[in-house]
Structure 1
């Protein structure tokens, strides 16, 4: 776990207050499991070393989100997938980079479709979703609340 972000791709100053961990994944079928373990270990250390509360729901959803994002990147792009899991502003951010410049688009709801619901799931449980082209490939960022709301509500997107 590192205590400071490297300089962001947009040239802005690094966020020295961020707590993060990252990995370069090799693009094989075991990457989703590696991503889940990395995220779970990171949030466990965040609780123990920094005293930051992390709900069980946040722990479970973080593992789901990084797994789905890494799986999609592994399917879409040749080569390495970079995963960065960081805490900023009381939320976890999963950031995944791959070499494919095509931005992901959630498919229309279809109860008869088997599979290919990962992006829909990520967008439903996270506070936001950003897909951005990079000089090479793309970067996906998905923030997720670490703690449940005091009234017990889950911390996903709010209905309109």
Structure 2
């Protein structure tokens, strides 16, 4: 192994799920995208689920953006869970920072800090929940090429 913080994943029968832990090390974001790509390939093969190429790209993008935020703004470990729930994938990222993310005001001149805007634009839903330690961000991505779905506004349930 190359010393990566990725601690492995586990795949259960039902529901189909995979999890990995990261430590904010170089390469974690790429490993997170690889985890998503491999998970969806297994969903296609083992479950016979119809997973569009667009869904594979969107899930990788969402994992990348949420894991980047965790690595950038939260000290310590982060966890990524991917779970097949019907015709969608739930992407969940936990990190140790209690501060809830807030989308920045639209500014075409701003360089960077667009990750949350991107996630909210491409997902069917996005939620953030405070945890006893840190927070849990959850996004749902449809497996089909349904471009008519809308994103649920960012919610911060108490």
With the shorter chain as reference, the TM-score category is 0.7 to 0.9
Q: In structure 2, what is the equivalent of residue 104 of structure 1?
A: 101
CA RMSD of aligned residues (A): 1.5
Matched, 1:2 2:5: no
Matched, 1:120 2:129: no
Q: CA deviation at 1:28?
A: 1.2
What residue ranges of structure 2 are gaps of 5+ in the alignment? 1-9, 153-158
> CA separation in 2, counterparts of 1:135 and 1:70?
20
> CA separation in 1, counterparts of 2:150 and 2:118?
11
What residue ranges of structure 1 are gaps of 5+ in the alignment? 5-16
Q: CA deviation at 1:82?
A: 0.3
> CA separation in 2, counterparts of 1:155 and 1:25?
34
Which of 78, 86, 95 is residue 81 of structure 1 equivalent to?
Answer: 78
Report the number of matched residues: 143
Normalised by the length of structure 2, the TM-score is 0.86
CA contact (8 A) 2:121 2:151 kept: no
Q: CA deviation at 1:158?
A: 6.1
Which of 126, 129, 149 is residue 126 of structure 2 equivalent to?
Answer: 129
